[in-house]
Amino acid sequence: MTTKSSSIDEAVTRSLEKYFIDLDGTRPCDIYDMVLSAVERPMLEVVMKQAHGNQLRASEMLGINRNTLRKKLQNHGLL
């Protein structure tokens, strides 16, 4: 049985492998920030939906401070 975290791991792995194939020899850069940004926004969207817009509940679900969550939401234009 596949766990949720390994499913996410597999999806990220497949996406990164495809990214490198699509580069077709072009040198990659800023991969770390690209991946974090690509994963963080949808994660925030889903968690905020599950928390019914309650930032305190969402921050608890994410295991981060509410102020940190608010800053991340602002950075992604989700407020």
pLDDT digits (tens, 9 = 90+) for 54-78: 999 999 999 999 999 999 999 999 9
Architecture of domain 4-75: Orthogonal Bundle (1.10)
| Inter-residue contact 47 to 58 (CB < 8 Å) | yes
User: Can you give the pLDDT at residue 6?
Assistant: 83
Domain boundaries, given as residue ranges, for the chain: 4-75
Q: What is the pLDDT of residue 20?
A: 93
Report in angstroms the alpha-carbon separations of 30 from 13, 26, 27, 49: 17, 13, 10, 29
Residue 47 reports pLDDT greater than 80: yes
What is the per-residue pLDDT for 3? 63
- pLDDT tens per residue, range 2-30: 566 689 899 999 999 999 999 998 999 99
